[in-house]
Amino acid sequence: MDFILQGHEINLKGANRGFFTTRLRANLERMLEGTGSKVGMRGMGVIVTTPDDAAADVRRRLERALGVQTIVAGQRVAPDAEAIAPVALAMVASQPGASFALDVKRPDKALALSSHDVAVYVGHYIEEKLGLPVDLRHPERLCTIVLSRKGALVSRAPELGPGGMPAGTAGRLLGLLSAGFDSPVAAYRLIRRGARVMLIHFYGTPLAGNASSVGPAEDMARALTRHQLHTRLYLCPFEPVQRAVIAATPSAYRVLIYRRMMLRIASALADKIFAHGLVTGDSLAQVASQTSLNLEAVSAATRLPIYRPLIGDDKVAIQAEARRIGTFDISAAASTGATDDCCSAFMPRTPALASSVGELDDAEREFDGAPLIVSSLSAIATRRYRLRGDTVELV
Ligand code: ATP
Ligand code: MG
């Protein structure tokens, strides 16, 4: 089976197109390792040639091939109606819908076989085998047959790929990752645009009987590695910071000051690893720390751009996306399994809804964050993940 992959955005790239296609091909080679597939070029698109018994597996992996907007599955057979019929049948059978149509083309006019004859023969064959009616106006299943002397190409209707840009083409960012639903989806949004999103997770000591959030954070990093192929997860202990914040700042501002400290530590790390922005899962008004005023007051702690791709999204939409990208179950298990990251243990009773930059600066007057940033950085443990074929390896 051949899969012809098109990236519409890549095709608009003019002189830089080669850079994106080269990366896409390298990514595909890595993702498809072990399937016996070959990756090459066909016109503007990339063609993946796959042994028939691996076709379903390859098609499933292509769901994660960022940069691919459309996928056309096709098979080459001898240019005669009897050879085409069973292949076309399989193409129609693998699609949903109550009717079908064949679109037969013969660009090679020297071929004796007429497209009408092929359409009639193959159409009857499929009608008989599947008991499905032909509907030329609004077919729900489509099979395209292109005839030439070299062979016939029998394909399914174009299907949608994940879109976006090939992984690893848009620079490096650092994502703040909790065990919740939002932050992995936020990281994915920028991964989908080609950024390599490294992850930092702050963890505390769980309350007695509760699980640590480190396990879910590691699972999350693995799930995101399936899309971006390489991930680094930085695990940073946060309890010393929380104790210092509790000792030296008013309780209503605690969560906001935790957030400021997370941003400061993340920014210091970003400088070290050459990441040029931070990513968070904030969504406007989701919780008290995410009112527009509080977001302003918290953001003042860093000069780096903060990407908040979910800012206008509802929880329902975020969770639906989490299902598609494979992080939903990890977040759901973490939320029902009494997992403590750093914040649940030290929540104030009434968090401030509207603070200003000045108010927070004021609340931090007795608090010295600088030495805590240094000690936090040196306490970070690093995990490196890499995708090879269908498995995520710890390297
Ligand atoms: P999420 O937003 O990922 O569902 P959450 O709802 O528990 O997790 P929020 O209180 O909404 O977290 O925090 C807002 C953002 O702050 C998160 O999306 C994430 O980017 C960052 N953040 C929160 N807690 C942590 C943590 N323990 N480690 C790293 N980043 C965190
Ligand atoms: Mg959230």
Q: Each residue of 21-52: pLDDT tens digit?
A: 999 999 999 999 999 999 999 888 899 999 99
Residue 302 has pLDDT above 80, yes or no: yes
Domains contained in the chain, CATH given: 2-160 (3.30.2130.30), 172-394 (3.40.50.620)
Residue among 191, 2, 164 nearest 69 (CA): 164
Alpha-carbon torsion, ordered 136, 138, 140, 144, to 10 deg: 40
> Would you give the end-to-end CA distance of the chain in angstroms?
33
Q: What confidence category does residue 380 fall into, taking pLDDT thresholds of 50, 70 and 90?
A: very high
Q: Is 341 in the pocket of ligand 1 (CB under 6 A)?
A: yes
Residue 285 has pLDDT above 90, yes or no: no
Q: Which atom of ligand 1 is nearest to the CA of 280?
A: 20
Instruction: Report the predicted TM-score, pTM, of the whole model to 2 decimal places.
Output: 0.92
In this prediction, residue 282 carries a pLDDT of: 94
- Structure tokens of 163? 């879109």
How many whole angstroms from 312 Cα to the centroid of ligand 1? 16
DSSP 3-41: EEEE-HHHHT-GGGHHHHHHHHHHHHHHHTTTTT-EEEE
Taking CA atoms only, the protein residue closest to ligand 1 atom 14 is 282
Taking CA atoms only, the protein residue closest to ligand 1 atom 22 is 178
- Structure tokens of 102? 């064949």
Q: What confidence category does residue 150 fall into, taking pLDDT thresholds of 50, 70 and 90?
A: confident
Average of pLDDT values for 366-395? 96
Taking CA atoms only, the protein residue closest to ligand 1 atom 11 is 282
DSSP 98-113: S-EEEEEE---TT-SS
In this prediction, residue 386 carries a pLDDT of: 98
The amino acid present at 123, given as its one-letter code, is G
Residue 134 is given by DSSP the state B
Taking CA atoms only, the protein residue closest to ligand 1 atom 31 is 178
How many whole angstroms from 326 Cα to the centroid of ligand 2? 17
Q: Is 177 in the pocket of ligand 1 (CB under 6 A)?
A: yes
Average of pLDDT values for 316-328? 97
How many whole angstroms from 92 Cα to the centroid of ligand 1? 45
How many whole angstroms from 183 Cα to the centroid of ligand 2? 7
Helices (H), the chain: 8-11, 17-31, 55-62, 81-93, 115-130, 182-192, 214-228, 239-248, 254-273, 292-299, 315-325, 328-336, 357-363, 370-378
Taking CA atoms only, the protein residue closest to ligand 1 atom 24 is 178
How many whole angstroms from 165 Cα to the centroid of ligand 1? 26
The amino acid present at 280, given as its one-letter code, is T
Give the pLDDT confidence of 80-139 residue by residue, as tens digits.
999 999 999 999 998 999 999 999 999 888 888 899 999 999 999 999 999 999 999 999
In this prediction, residue 341 carries a pLDDT of: 62
State the Cα–Cα distance between residues 165 and 167, nearest whole angstrom. 6
